[in-house]
Amino acid sequence: MGLFGWPFEEAYFEGWSFVIGYFVLQMLVFWLLEAFCISQFGNTPGKALMRIRVRNAIGRRLAFSASLKRTGMSILAGMGLLVCHWSTC
């Protein structure tokens, strides 16, 4: 038996290929979940706590395609470019 009783060998969960694959999967889930929350509710749980709403220029909620683009650009601008690693955080 492997990790958590799964019938896999533990070698599948080691090495750079697993780390990169897990990171990509995690970013994809984050991207889709945040875009869904913004398009359906107008905010994410963190934005709701701060009473921040994301709206378009005429005051309506963003469409799912627009929220996908917004979330993707925020990932590229912040986490995707590893700004924290290049600056003196």
Structure tokens at 48: 């709701």
Whether 13 has a pLDDT exceeding 70, the answer reads: no
**Tokens 């945040």, residue?**
34
Q: Give the type of residue at 8.
A: F
Residue of 17, 70, 60, 57 whose CA lies nearest to 40: 60
Better-scored residue on pLDDT, 3 or 43: 43
**Tokens 């875009």, residue?**
35
- The alpha carbon dihedral of 39, 45, 46, 49 has a sign of positive
CB atoms within 10 A of CB 4: 7
What is residue 36's predicted lDDT score, i.e. its pLDDT?
Answer: 95
pLDDT digits (tens, 9 = 90+) for 45-70: 999 999 999 999 999 999 999 999 99
pLDDT digits (tens, 9 = 90+) for 18-43: 888 888 888 889 899 999 999 999 99
